[in-house]
Amino acid sequence: MPLSPERVREDIPLTKRYVYLDNCATTPVPRPVVEAMLEYFYDYCANVERGAYSIASLANEKWDRARAKAARLLLNCEPDEFIFTRNFTEGACILAYGLERPLLNRSGGTFTETEPVIKWERGDNIVFSSLEHHSNMIPWIRLARHVGAEIRVVEFDVKSGMILPSEVEKAVDERTKLLAIQHVSNVTGVVHPVEEFVRIAKEKNPDCFVFVDSSQGPGHMPVDVKRIGCDALAFSGHKGPLGPQGSGGLYVKREHLERMDPLEIGGGTIADVTVRDYELRGDMLSKRWEAGTPSIACLIGLGRAAEYVAEEIGLSAVRSREHMLTERLVEGLLEIPGVEVYGETEDLRVKAGVVSFNVEGWSSRDVSLALDQNFSPPILTRAGHHCAIPACRRLGVYEKYGGTVRASFHYYNTPEEVDALIEAVKTLAR
């Protein structure tokens, strides 16, 4: 039996005081996850990968177990392909560095550079969509400048808020070396057919590296990197998985990891060092990218969160609950004169639990402030450009409203909370 939403609310004390509808930005951390972190601090607070004494090996064991849990339950990948990060953004930056630089390593006694995973040549291009979060855009703009690649943009469909496969097909060609594309939009809430995007890109160029921004995927729905077929995928632990802020993951196919240079190097990343060279560790590839002492408690928290959301609640239960809440909200908002709802509003099966809207005559920020300050319990929504200025411009809401008001759900939200938001918006729209 999955944990009921009411049971999960018991684990999230914040739900007693607020209608929290900003799960896209970050989620509250449920009690069992906090307890797992407290247990580390109180009972076995020791560094990992260094000590021989008992609590140091216990810390190590728990940290390794957290990686294995997060890798399997959230992405269906192996632990040695799962790099612990602080968030999605760090994952994208690690990858951008690794795709630009040659790998420097001592191998077979010689300390040499080998070719980067992508062999950049004049005339290559990098493709991303205009719906991307800045964190899945800026690293590629900089990479394109460094390697001399052309940037090609897939324009999303304004009405449905979707990235259409036919538009991806038009943008990619045999010179596309990198496609960086999102799984779920944090602005329009659409779940995109990423498997199809991968297939299209690989048909045009089998060596095209496909990176997926799944910041809004794991924890909200089952995600399987093998089925998607991507070369890399990153997410944040503090969103769908209900993990702590400061946790996240980057999956990269083993064959690429073996050839990528880590962004940070130092303690924890090597097998051997002399004063002139070093040999990166090969026992657990992902740890090559985790230089220095990690955020041990946070990552143990992420492992516990993966169990909580995927095993104790169940990802299909999360997905269907969010669908029900989304349907209720979209239908309610569409009936209010003067309210615009963005993205698909008819076939709501393509939506995750994210709804963006505006109220005629109000800036998005003022709506969000009013929802917080004029209602009891306060209704907490996000307002602004959601770190997706190009997307908001294309939707025509950036200059007019300063972006959108966004309500985003997780499993613990209730139909009553949705109704409270609808009633509140009605009073503002009058």
Ligand X SMILES: Cc1ncc(COP(=O)(O)O)c(C=O)c1O
Choice between 236 and 326, CB closer to ligand X: 236
Q: What minimum distance in Å lies between the beta carbon of 421 and ligand X?
A: 20
Q: What minimum distance in Å lies between the beta carbon of 115 and ligand X?
A: 29
Choice between 294 and 332, CB closer to ligand X: 294
Choice between 184 and 285, CB closer to ligand X: 184
- In angstroms, the CA 184 to CA 275 distance is 46
- In angstroms, the CA 224 to CA 227 distance is 5
Nearest Cα residue to 184 out of 402, 401, 343, 366: 343
Choice between 27 and 216, CB closer to ligand X: 216
Q: Does residue 387 carry a catalytic annotation? A: yes
Q: Contact, 189 vs 133, CB < 8 A?
A: no
Q: Which residues pair with 112 in a beta bridge?
A: 105
Q: What minimum distance in Å lies between the beta carbon of 231 and ligand X?
A: 18
Q: What minimum distance in Å lies between the beta carbon of 276 and ligand X?
A: 37
Residue with tokens 């972006």: 403
Q: What minimum distance in Å lies between the beta carbon of 72 and ligand X?
A: 21
Q: What minimum distance in Å lies between the beta carbon of 426 and ligand X?
A: 28
- Quote the crossing angle between the two packed helices 54-70 and 31-43, to the nearest 10°: 160
Choice between 131 and 200, CB closer to ligand X: 131
Q: Which of 24, 208, 387, 392 is catalytic?
A: 387
- From residue 372, alpha-carbon distances to 12, 48, 182, 379 in Å are 19, 42, 30, 5
Nearest Cα residue to 242 out of 412, 418, 93: 412
Residue with tokens 């993951």: 249
Residues 6+ apart with CB under 8 A from 102: 113, 114, 115, 116, 261
At 52, give phi and psi (nearest 5°): -100, -20
Contact residues toward ligand X (CB under 6 A) are 24-25, 87-89, 133, 135-136, 182, 186, 213, 215-216, 236
Residue 53 has a CB neighbour count (10 Å cut-off) of: 8
Structure letter (DSSP) for residue 162? B
Choice between 124 and 213, CB closer to ligand X: 213
Q: Contact, 298 vs 37, CB < 8 A?
A: yes
Question: Quick one: which H or E segment has residue 356?
Answer: strand 354-359
Give the end-to-end CA distance of the chain in Å, rounded to a whole number.
Answer: 44
Positions marked catalytic: 387
